[in-house]
Amino acid sequence: MHFIKCTFEQHASEILAIFNDAILNTTALYEYKPRTLETMKNWFHTKTENNFPIIGATNETGQLLGFASYGTFRAWAAYKYSIEHSVYVHKNYRGKGLGTALIQKLILLAKQQQYHTMIGAIDIDNKSSIALHERLGFTHAGTIKEAGFKFGHWLDFAFYQLILETPKMPVDG
């Protein structure tokens, strides 16, 4: 497995396929309609403009097996040291340690960029993602009951957080 920096030109279609599989077949994303290449263009632009990483894991042939990123948790100034992350693995490669490896890479980058709190928002029934986050030291920070409705039932949303030892000298403003 190789870790790469994903780009729109090289990886948008593979990321789009992974996103759309999650939208159509899981509760990992609380969305109903598949995303388009245009939404991917905006997604990549936002990540790039804000210096947020998009890390991919590829096999020896260059196929994207999964990806991870983080972005703004909330858009108010005092949240500047908090980020919300996400990790998605192609359905054929889940359960092989890719999610763990990708989140570990994100943690290192978050420390380098001087973030303090990483937040994951996870559907409460996604036991494998919850277990993965707990193994990496994330703790349950709260659950919002019936936050979404998909596949004919209400969905509960759990927040997991990891406090990083960075930044050394946080500042207001």
69-110 pLDDT, tens digit each: 999 999 999 999 999 999 999 999 999 999 999 999 999 999
CA-CA distance, 166 to 168, in Å (whole number)?
5
Cβ–Cβ contacts within 10 Å for residue 107, how many?
19
For 18-37, the pLDDT digits (tens) are: 999 999 999 999 999 999 99
pTM: 0.94
Out of 3.40.190.10, 3.30.200.20, 3.40.630.30, 3.40.30.10, the CATH code matching 2-163 is: 3.40.630.30
Where along the chain do its domains lie? Answer: 2-163
- Name the residue among 72, 132, 122 with its Cα closest to residue 102: 132
